Amino acid sequence: MNWGSSAEFLAMGGYAFYVWGSYLAALACMTLEPLLLALRRKRALERLQAERTRHETAA
Amino acid sequence: MSNGLINWFRYGSPQSFYPLAGRMVPWFAALAALSGAAGLWIAFFVAPTDAQQGEAYRIIFVHVPASWLSMFLYVIMAGWAGLGLALNTRLSAMMAHAIAPTGAMFAFLSLWSGALWGRPTWGTYWVWDARLTSELVLFFLYLGYMALNAAIDDPRRADRASAVLALVGVVNVPIIYFSVKWWNTLHQGASVSLTRAPSMATTMLTGMLVMAIAFWMYSIAVALARVRSIMLEREAHTDWARELKETA
């Protein structure tokens, strides 16, 4: 185990800004991308629904 | 037909790949979460403090996997784009489009974490050194690929134009990889090589590899989820799409 306390863990030996800056950026990107994808899927399904209705009224 | 090839071509059409991709997404997402948790555990609690760099070196567990993925994903994207150009299959171009944003995201993370690592170790966030500059070019290639796709209205023409861009840009990947050998750069040499023993502690290497697996699984899950949306957007007018049971 590398850390004596949680404060020591957060301090990262004085490199907190650099270490957490990297990990949080990765976390943010990899959270945001799936959220944006879910939104894109929702929009695509809504458009598909509109296409279905148009098709049914035309038929 | 009993020809073994036919099964593969069956999945080359969007209507048969769409449900298959949908079934695969949760599995790859679960694998990504599991290997990500294991990788983070190793990165922070198993791998020892570096003798020279202290705790700053822990950036390696984000930086190296992100850099690898940014290069791998580009090659795979260009492969799909090239396949689409050669065979004119609908799915190939869609796969290439699905990979691009994730590749760009990893190229960005590579540059970002590299800058945050460069500051405490080299004293600067950025230098115009061969490794850093060629990775920046990779990031711009991804952005250019996506911009070109968005700029051309006819999707089939956009597929072909962007495929040519993707294929031309492949030349940049070996440049990134070998840049630390070919030029005298500030960036350190390869962390992992097939020809010699790794230059770091086994636990550090394991952590890096496990994180790379996590990023791989994430990429596959996200690309498959995205290709499903692309299929719906492009094929909304077709019978198979309209007949799907899925609703928003």
Check CB contact under 8 Å for B236 and A23: no
Residue B235: CB partners within 8 Å, gap ≥ 6?
A: B14, B15, B241
Tell me if B42 sits within 8 A of B206, measured CB to CB: yes
How far is Cα B69 from Cα B209, in angstroms, rounded to an integer?
Answer: 12
Counting as low any pLDDT under 50, the low residues of chain B are: 1
Check CB contact under 8 Å for A2 and B48: yes
What does the pLDDT look like over B10-35, one tens digit per residue? 667 888 899 999 999 999 999 999 99
Beta bridge partners of B54: B50
Count other C-beta atoms under 10 Å from residue A8's C-beta. 12
Count other C-beta atoms under 10 Å from residue B79's C-beta. 17
Residue of chain B whose alpha carbon sits nearest to that of A15: B56
Query: Which class for B58: exposed (0-12), middle (13-18), buried (19 or more C-beta within 10 A)?
Result: buried
Report the pLDDT value the prediction gives residue B1, as an integer from 0 to 100: 44
User: Given B45, B58, B247, which is nearest A19 (Cβ)?
Assistant: B58
Question: What ipTM did this prediction achieve?
Answer: 0.93
Counting every residue, how long is chain A?
A: 59
Check CB contact under 8 Å for B54 and A14: yes
State mean pLDDT over A32-42.
Answer: 97
User: Is the minimum CB–CB distance between A1 and chain B shorter than 8 Å?
Assistant: yes
User: Is the minimum CB–CB distance between A9 and chain B shorter than 8 Å?
Assistant: yes
User: Is the minimum CB–CB distance between B56 and chain A shorter than 8 Å?
Assistant: yes
Residue of chain A whose alpha carbon sits nearest to that of B238: A51
B83 SS3 class: helix
Taken in order B45, B106, B218, B187, the sign of the CA dihedral is: negative
Residue B148: CB partners within 8 Å, gap ≥ 6?
A: B158, B161, B162, B165
User: Is the minimum CB–CB distance between A52 and chain B shorter than 8 Å?
Assistant: yes
pLDDT at A59 over 90: no
pTM, two decimals, is 0.92
Check CB contact under 8 Å for A22 and B113: yes
Check CB contact under 8 Å for A49 and B228: no
Check CB contact under 8 Å for A52 and B109: no
- Nearest of B69, B80, B59 to residue B32 by alpha carbon: B69
A-chain CB neighbours of B58 within 8 Å are 12, 19
Residue of chain B whose alpha carbon sits nearest to that of A34: B222
In chain A, domain spans: 6-58
User: Given B101, B229, B237, which is nearest A41 (Cβ)?
Assistant: B229
In chain B, domain spans: 22-46+59-242
Residues in A 25-44 with any Cβ partner in B closer than 8 A: 25-26, 29-30, 33-34, 37, 40-44
Residue B179: CB partners within 8 Å, gap ≥ 6?
A: B130, B131, B134, B185, B187
- Nearest of B206, B228, B243, B227 to residue B77 by alpha carbon: B227
Report the pLDDT value the prediction gives residue A9, as an integer from 0 to 100: 93
Beta bridge partners of B50: B54
